[in-house]
Amino acid sequence: MFRQIKNTSGLYFNTFSALCFFIWQSFCTFIQNFIKAGKMVLGQTHKNFPFSKLLRLVFGMAVVLQLVVITYNHYSGYHELSGSDEFLRRLVFGIFYSLIAGFAIAYPDLGAIQYLNRHLPWRRQPLKRIAVQLLFTILIASTVSTLITLFAHWVSAYRQALSNVLFNNMLIYCVVNAFFMSILEAWHYLDDSTREKVKSEELQMALSLEAAHRAMVEAQVKMEEEKNSHAAQLIEQEKKLNAHLEEEIRKREAVSRQLNESREQLNSLLSNLSGSAYRCCYDEHYTMKYISEKIFDISGYHATDLTDNASLSFADIIHPADRSFCDAKIREAIEGKRPYEFEYRLLHRDGAEVWVSENGKGIYNEKGEIVWLDGIINDITWQKLAEAEVRESERKYKDLLDLLPQPVFELNLQGEVLLSNKAGDAFFGPLPTEPGVKQSSLDCFIEADRPQIIESFRKSAEGIDSEPGEFTAIKADGTLCPVMVFGNPIVKQGTIVGRRGIIVDISERKKQEEKLLRAKDELERINNTLEQSVAERTQQLTEANTLLLKVQKENLQSQFEVLKQQVNPHFLFNSLNVLTSLIKVDPDLAEAFTERLSKVYRYVLENKEKDLVNLSTELEFLKAYLFLLEIRFMKKLIVSIQIDKVFHDYQILPIAIQLIIENAIKHNTFSKAQPLKIDIFVDDQLRLNIINNLHLRETKLVSTGVGLENISRRYALVSDQQPEFVKSKEQFIARLPLLKSEKSETE
């Protein structure tokens, strides 16, 4: 209960405080507005009637009025004085009240006079003006006297009745107000007449000055007329001279216009030149008499810096190491009186070296003496940088070719060898070093194979694809060697300019084929004799079967080698074509491409003898291989590999995944709009699934199935599990068994 009462009282107190604050703010705002309005009214009032003049009038009226009133009250017995102290007190208080009353009367009187002068002047309806002014006088005097009397009575009560004092004061203030009104109006009109007098005097003085000025102008006009009569004669003479001068000026303007047009044409031609044109003296500084502003783009110096050696001479910006070379070239051309052209370096304003090409000639006088050197300077820095990049790219390309164990070649359309790597030089012998001497590629093969090679050149020149062929090559030592040649045309700017390819030694494959033929003959011989002595030759038959299994294994291994020799050169050749394009477009990407290519090829060489490899090793090889495919096919091929690390220790046939991916690329057509998608993952039965979508090529070539059959036979040699290949309308699925390693079996 107490808390409720306390809360209610607090609410009332806050409401009362807010109300008091609002009243106080309103009062302060009223006072500020009242003071502002008072200042504005007083400023307007005192604009025509100064305050000092009004103060003297009011103070004089207060003193005289109090002396008259005090004296009248004393001698009339109305209010006798008791002594000098009372006289002084009544005089001071009376003057104070009279001052207040005086100002209270004076300001309304001034306002009334200003209002009547604007709306009811004396020259219109004077009687109405008198009546209105009398009414203002009585109203102002009555109001002021009543307020002053009541205030004075409140401060100290009168001895007489308030009504008598009020009546007497009202009469007095009416008389005083009439006096004030008359004096203020008279003063007002006196100020107006004074201002009018000053204006008339100023006007009279202005008229006098105007008359004097007019007299002076008339005198000047007479003088001008005399001058004009004399000038008319001079003008006639000047007209004749001006006519002659105008003719001369027109001729000069025509010549100047033609000269400006010629200069503009020259400047336009010079500004459109690829280099900076110049004319200089043949001295040690090559003092420039003219050089186009194009020199700023080349050297960073403006033409004005070099003209007449203003800031520095042209010789100062020539590279110190090239100065003597430039002098010698120009001196040699001048002595032989022939044009010169050479390349050298300039020092740019920022300190960089700029390569330029300068060509020009000497200008001679009638005596055959050199007068000027005229020429043009072109910036070839970008050309030098491009040449350096090309040389570096060619060096990297040559180093890559030299790393390959097979001979690589480039031929022109005439079949002449343009390029060969170290393996090619070791196989066929080094190329001729004499200028203009080329080695024909036909000389590297036997006579019987040359027509087929010529036919292959013809198809390549016409853009017709040709299949790899087997030939017999003549090695550097004169021995013969069976080889397989892979190649494609070299295209530059849309034109076939030659052929590039790789040569693979197939001697081992031929030996294996001969060995298989001998084994076949031996088996046929054994089979023919087995029918005659089955019982006696049982042991021999067992040995023969063992030999047969061995031969079959060697046969499968040989087929695998043949398959790798067919796949790897194709892949390597296509990669070299991509690398050739990348070297000139993106050298950094070409370097990364080279590293992956060497990694892939090294893997093929190191694992070709192995039956199985770890899945992790095969996946590392696959990453490098896929990088090369991404560069080759851009976004046309999408490969997704989702294999957990728990399967990395399992084993698989080396290069098996690559063969299946290459098989998908070979038999399908794809683009960026319809990419070839390949998914690789391990299923629940520990089989590696390789699935690609089908969009078969429209080609007359029939798939032989050698690659997939080879994978199946190789699995038969190392495991009893067999791969599975399924082809549907939309997909091709390859499932390769993952084999446990010895480490996994031990665990």
Q: Coil, strand, or helix at residue 505?
A: strand
Return the higher-pLDDT residue of 632 and 11: 632
Query: In this model, does residue 1 exceed pLDDT 50?
Result: no
Q: Coil, strand, or helix at residue 168?
A: helix
HEC profile for 95-164? HHHHHHHHHHHHHHHHHHHHHHHHHCCCCCCHHHHHHHHHHHHHHHHHHHHHHHHHHHHHHCCCCCCHHH
- As a whole number, mean pLDDT of residues 96-111 equals 71
* Residue-by-residue DSSP string for 620-646: HHHHHHHHHHHHHHGGGEEEEEE--GG
558-586: pLDDT as tens digits = 444 544 444 456 666 667 776 676 676 67
| Residues facing residue 501 across a β-bridge | 409, 487
Rounded CA separation 460/668 (Å): 24
Of 331-340, 343-352, 603-612, 670-679, least confident by mean pLDDT is 603-612
The pLDDT, as a whole number, for residue 72 is 67
Rounded CA separation 376/292 (Å): 9
The pLDDT, as a whole number, for residue 565 is 45
Return the higher-pLDDT residue of 118 and 452: 452
Return the higher-pLDDT residue of 224 and 722: 722
429-467: pLDDT as tens digits = 888 878 778 888 888 888 888 888 888 878 877 777 777
- As a whole number, mean pLDDT of residues 156-184 equals 69
Query: In this model, does residue 416 exceed pLDDT 50?
Result: yes
Mean pLDDT estimate for the chain: 77
- As a whole number, mean pLDDT of residues 334-363 equals 92
Contact 651, 691 (CB under 8 A): no
- What ranges make up the beta strands (E) of 365-459? 370-379, 408-412, 417-420
Of 69-78, 313-322, 401-410, 665-674, least confident by mean pLDDT is 69-78
Domain boundaries, the chain: 49-264, 273-379, 407-609, 629-747
Element holding 344 (H helix, E strand)? strand 340-347
Distance, CA of 203 to chain centre? 74
Topology (CATH) of 407-609: Beta-Lactamase (3.30.450)
CATH class of 273-379: alpha beta
Of 393-402, 469-478, 653-662, 672-681, least confident by mean pLDDT is 393-402
Is the fold of 273-379 the same as that of 407-609?
yes
The pLDDT, as a whole number, for residue 745 is 47
**How does strand 613-614 pair with strand 651-652?**
antiparallel
Enter the CATH code of domain 629-747.
Answer: 3.30.565.10
Tokens of 703: 């798939």
- As a whole number, mean pLDDT of residues 402-425 equals 81
Tokens of 514: 């001969």
The pLDDT, as a whole number, for residue 37 is 47
380-400: pLDDT as tens digits = 988 888 888 878 877 887 777
Contact 375, 369 (CB under 8 A): no
Question: Please, which residues have CB within 8 angstroms of residue 714's CB and are 6 or more apart in sequence?
Answer: 556, 560, 611, 653, 656
Of 134-143, 185-194, 667-676, least confident by mean pLDDT is 185-194
Question: Please, which residues have CB within 8 angstroms of residue 581's CB and are 6 or more apart in sequence?
Answer: none
The pLDDT, as a whole number, for residue 225 is 79
Tokens of 518: 């001998």
Query: In this model, does residue 80 exceed pLDDT 80?
Result: no
Rounded CA separation 88/90 (Å): 6
pLDDT band at 593 (very low <50, low <70, confident <90, very high): confident
Query: In this model, does residue 6 exceed pLDDT 50?
Result: no
Q: What are the φ and ψ backbone dihedral angles of 673, each rounded to 5 degrees?
A: -70, -35
